[in-house]
Amino acid sequence: MILIAIGSNLNSDSFGSPLQNCLQAIKLLKKKFNVEKISKFYETEPIPKSNQPWYVNGAIKIKSNLSPQEILENLILIEKAFKRVRNKKNEARTIDLDLLTYNDQVLNTTNLILPHPRMHLRKFVMQPVCDIDEEWIHPVLNKSAKNMIKTLANQNIFNIRIT
Q: Active-site residue 161, yes or no?
A: no
Q: Which of 86, 93, 104, 161 is catalytic?
A: 93
Q: Which of 13, 86, 98, 131 is catalytic?
A: 98
What letter represents residue 95's amino acid? I
Backbone phi, psi, residue 149, to 5°: -70, -25
147 CB contacts (<8 Å, ≥6 apart)? none
Q: Which of 84, 104, 118, 122 is catalytic?
A: 84
Q: Active-site residue 96, yes or no?
A: yes
Q: Active-site residue 133, yes or no?
A: no
What Rg do the C-alpha atoms of the chain give, in angstroms?
15
Q: Active-site residue 93, yes or no?
A: yes
Q: Which of 86, 96, 122, 161 is catalytic?
A: 96
Catalytic residues: 84, 93, 96, 98
